[in-house]
Amino acid sequence: MNNEVVEISIVSPVYRAESLVDKLIERITNSVSKLTDSYEIILVEDCGPDNSWKKIQENCAKYTTVKGIKLSRNYGQQHAIQAGLDASTGKYIITMDCDLQDQPEEIEKLLAKSKEGYEIVVASRKNRQDDFFKKTFSRMFYSTLGYLTETKQDRTVANFVVYHRKAVNAMASLKDHNRYYPMLQQMVGFNYAKVAIEHAEREDGKSSYSYKKRLKLAIDTILTFSDKPLRLTVKFGVFLSFLSICAAMAMVVLYVFSDVKADGWASLALLVSFFSGIIISVLGMVGLYVGRTFESVKHRPTYIVQEKLN
């Protein structure tokens, strides 16, 4: 890590953004250079299939303020952000996506709010320029995450954030194997503020964040930050037991006081199948949590750096 401390660090994970790197650096430079001469731009290439790293190399040779980090394989956006935060030296650290939907020109507004005494300032995208399915999935994800983690989630907030160094150090001290920074922000506390910004359309191509990746992120986040699914299965098990007791009492009453006889293999087979499915589901959920615990206790690094520039 560079020991030279700068005023502002801008961290952006890069994946399949070969056509955007030059414009991203140009717009960040034009915006931040108006605020201070002491800044660094850290681009973390998450081992994508295109020539994004070559573009980062070219810009690192051209600008001393640009630093490049290439990960050894694809670790995912949140771990790429972590790599950039770990390498940053700034008093204020800004994270943003590389697709330019988070506009670098809004940095000044976020930074001004941070200097009012807020350690975490997030950008709130009031008019998201995303397609219908992405918006719908986002709404479902944040509603489910908020319910299961018993926290308040804001779907207008993503990765465009200004952190004070104190907040970054606090989040680094949390050793969760699966990182999800909107949740980590809530866990560390500090003074928190939101600033409304304009959300732009994607400059080029389509998002590389597929629905499969988003679903995996959702499952990992829920399992990492909440045990409520386990508590819900316990309540469901108690409820089923209560229904079973009620049904047994009803059968006894019918047997004693009426001519109705409870028999038949079909009903028995249905009951066995139903409860077997419940048992397997509960065991599967417990297995997921055990698997996450197993991953955590191995203390493997959450990312590995293949190469650094500048």
Flag whether pLDDT at 250 surpasses 60: yes
DSSP 152: -
Determine the pLDDT at residue 236. Answer: 74
pLDDT band at 131 (very low <50, low <70, confident <90, very high): low
C-alpha span between 202 and 238 (Å, rounded):
49
Determine the pLDDT at residue 261. Answer: 57
Q: How many residues does the chain have?
A: 310
In single-letter form, the type of residue at position 158 comes to A
Contacts of 211 (CB under 8 A, 6+ apart): 133, 137
Token code pair at residue 49: 């299939």
Q: Are strands 92-95 and 8-14 parallel, antiparallel or unpaired?
A: parallel
Other Cβ atoms closer than 10 A to 46? 26
- pTM of the complete model: 0.70
Per DSSP, the residues of 251-287 read HHHHHHHSS-----HHHHHHHHHHHHHHHHHHHHHHH
Q: What percent of the chain has pLDDT over 70?
A: 68
The phi-psi region of residue 243 (left if phi > 0; otherwise alpha if psi is between -120 and 50; otherwise beta) is alpha
Tell me the range of 55-69, 122-136, 262-276 where mean pLDDT is highest: 55-69
Determine the pLDDT at residue 1. Answer: 42
21-32 and 52-62 helices, crossing angle to 10°: 40
Cβ–Cβ under 8 Å, residues 179 and 109? no
Cβ–Cβ under 8 Å, residues 119 and 166? yes
Per-residue pLDDT reduced to its tens digit, 180-214: 777 787 778 888 888 887 777 666 655 555 566 66
Contacts of 109 (CB under 8 A, 6+ apart): 195, 197
Cβ–Cβ under 8 Å, residues 151 and 127? no
* Average pLDDT of span 29-50: 88
Per-residue pLDDT reduced to its tens digit, 254-301: 667 776 555 555 556 556 666 666 777 677 667 767 766 766 666 677
Q: Which of 21, 41, 19, 18 is nearest to 29 (CA)?
A: 41
Kindly report the average pLDDT of the chain as a whole number.
Answer: 77
**Lowest mean pLDDT segment, chosen from 68-82, 170-184, 217-231:** 217-231
Q: Give, in order, the Cα–Cα distances in Å from 136 to each of 45, 128, 133, 154, 205.
A: 29, 12, 5, 14, 21
CATH of span 8-226+301-309: 3.90.550.10
Q: Which of 83, 92, 81 is nearest to 165 (CA)?
A: 92
* Average pLDDT of span 99-127: 85
Dihedral of CA 61/310/108/159: which sign?
Answer: positive
- Domain boundaries along the sequence of the chain: 8-226+301-309, 228-297
